[in-house]
C-alpha cells in the first residue's frame, strides 16, 4: 500500500465515522418524537451512505478518471455534488433496508425527505469546501497550520524539485499572453496527478515554474523524487496530441533537484503562507538554471544523489563541479536520464 493510499484510507474511515454519527443526529433534530431505539437504523444508513458517498469523493474524485470534472469551475463541482447526493440517498436507503428490518424511508413524507437531502448536502458541501481549501494550501501544510507546528520557525530536511517549462518566452510570442497562460493552467493541472502519486507537495507556482517538495527521507526513498519528474514527462508525452490540438505545441520541461536543511515558518496576517528559507532552496533553483545552461533535462546535486537510493532504470552522468552564485564551495552536478528499455 502506497503512502498516498494509506492517507486516503485514513481520511475515508474518518469521514464514514462522521456519517455514522450524523445519521442519528438527523433523527434527533428532525424527528424528535422517535424513541432512541429507532435511531440505530439511521446509523446503519449513515454507514452505508458514507461508504457509497465518501468512497467516490475520496478515491474516485481525485483519480485521473474524474480529471475532466475537476477542471470545471467550483460551482459545477457543487452541482455534481447535488446529483451525487440525490443518487446516493435512495441507494443507501435501499441497501440499509436489507440490513435492518425497520425501513425508515417508508416513514418519510415529502417534507422530511427533502430535509434529509439538504441535511446531507450541507454537510457534504462543507466537507467539499474543506477539501478544496486543503488542495489550495496542501493537506499536510493545512494540518500543520491547524496544530500550530510552523507558528515558530523550525528546521526540517527536505527535497526540492524546481520544474521549468522549456521555451516559455517563445511560447508567449507564439500563443500570446492569454494563450500561454491557458497552456500553463492545463500544464499545472496535469502535473498535479503524478506529484500526488509520488507523495510530493506542490509548494508554489511562480510564472512558468513549479516547486515540488518532499520530506527528505520520503523523497529520497527508492528515488521517489526522480520518479516523479519522469512520471510528469511520461504524462506530457501521453497527452501530447491533446496539447497539440488545444495549443499547437507540446510542453517540455527541465528541472533541478537538491535536498538539505531548510527553515520553515508560517508568515503573514491577512494572507498566511508557509515559507521555506535557506541555502537548500537557493541551490535547487540554481540547479534548474544549470540544467538550462548545460541543455540537460534533469540536474541533481551529487550531494543529494549520494544520499538517495537511485533505481537502476535511471542513468547518472557526472558533470562538472561549479561554484553556484552565492556559494563559496563548488557543487557537483549530475545529469539524470532514463535510457529506453
Domains defined for the chain, CATH in brackets: 3-137 (no CATH), 150-337 (3.30.70.1230)
Report pTM: 0.75
Among 113-117, 118-122, 145-149, 313-317, where is mean pLDDT lowest? 113-117
> Higher model confidence: residue 259 or residue 45?
259
**Residue 86 pLDDT > 90, yes or no?**
no
**Residue 3 pLDDT > 70, yes or no?**
no
Ramachandran bin of 213, using left for φ above 0, alpha for ψ from -120 to 50, beta for the remaining angles: beta
Cβ proximity of 3 and 218 under 8 Å? yes
Cβ proximity of 215 and 156 under 8 Å? yes
Cβ proximity of 299 and 333 under 8 Å? yes
| Phi and psi angles of residue 161, each rounded to the nearest 5 degrees, phi first | -115, 110
**Residue 79 pLDDT > 50, yes or no?**
yes
Residue 110 has a pLDDT of: 37
Chain centre distance of CA 156: 21
**Residue 214 pLDDT > 70, yes or no?**
yes
Q: What is the pLDDT of residues 257-305, one digit of tens each?
A: 999 999 998 888 777 778 899 999 999 999 999 999 999 999 999 999 9
Give the separation between CA 42 and CA 19, rounded to whole angstroms: 10
Amino acid at each position: 500500500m502506497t503512502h498516498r493510499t494509506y492517507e486516503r484510507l485514513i481520511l475515508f474511515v474518518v469521514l464514514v465515522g462522521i456519517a455514522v454519527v450524523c445519521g442519528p443526529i438527523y433523527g434527533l433534530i428532525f424527528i424528535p418524537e422517535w424513541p432512541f431505539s429507532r435511531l440505530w437504523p439511521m446509523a446503519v444508513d449513515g454507514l452505508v451512505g458514507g461508504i457509497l458517498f465518501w468512497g467516490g469523493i475520496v478515491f474516485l474524485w481525485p483519480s485521473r478518471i474524474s480529471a475532466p470534472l475537476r477542471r470545471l469551475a467550483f460551482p459545477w463541482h457543487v452541482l455534481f455534488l447535488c446529483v451525487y447526493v440525490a443518487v446516493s440517498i435512495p441507494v443507501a436507503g435501499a441497501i440499509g433496508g436489507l440490513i435492518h428490518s425497520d425501513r425508515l424511508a417508508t416513514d418519510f413524507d415529502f417534507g422530511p425527505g427533502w430535509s434529509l437531502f439538504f441535511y446531507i448536502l450541507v454537510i457534504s458541501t462543507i466537507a467539499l469546501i474543506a477539501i478544496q481549501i486543503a488542495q489550495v494550501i496542501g493537506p499536510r501544510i493545512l494540518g500543520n497550520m491547524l496544530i500550530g507546528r510552523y507558528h515558530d520557525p523550525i528546521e526540517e530536511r527536505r527535497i526540492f524539485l524546481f520544474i521549468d517549462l522549456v521555451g516559455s518566452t517563445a511560447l508567449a510570442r507564439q500563443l500570446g499572453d492569454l494563450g500561454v497562460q491557458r497552456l500553463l493552467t492545463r500544464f499545472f493541472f496535469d502535473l498535479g496527478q503524478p506529484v500526488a502519486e509520488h507523495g510530493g507537495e506542490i509548494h508554489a507556482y511562480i510564472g512558468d515554474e513549479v516547486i515540488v517538495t518532499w520530506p527528505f527521507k520520503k523523497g529520497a526513498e527508492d528515488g521517489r523524487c526522480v520518479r516523479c519528474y519522469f512520471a510528469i514527462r511520461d504524462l506530457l508525452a501521453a497527452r501530447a496530441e491533446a496539447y497539440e490540438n488545444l495549443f499547437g505545441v507540446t510542453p517540455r520541461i527541465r528541472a533541478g533537484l537538491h535536498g538539505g536543511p531548510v527553515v520553515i515558518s508560517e508568515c503573514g496576517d491577512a494572507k498566511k503562507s508557509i515559507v521555506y528559507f535557506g541555502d537548500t532552496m537557493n541551490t535547487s533553483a540554481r540547479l534548474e538554471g544549470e540544467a538550462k545552461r548545460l541543455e540537460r533535462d534533469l540536474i541533481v546535486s551529487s550531494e543529494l544523489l549520494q544520499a538517495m537510493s537511485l533505481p537502476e532504470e535511471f542513468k547518472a552522468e557526472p558533470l562538472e563541479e561549479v561554484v553556484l552564485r552565492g556559494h563559496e564551495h563548488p557543487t557537483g552536478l549530475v545529469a539524470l536520464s532514463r535510457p529506453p528499455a
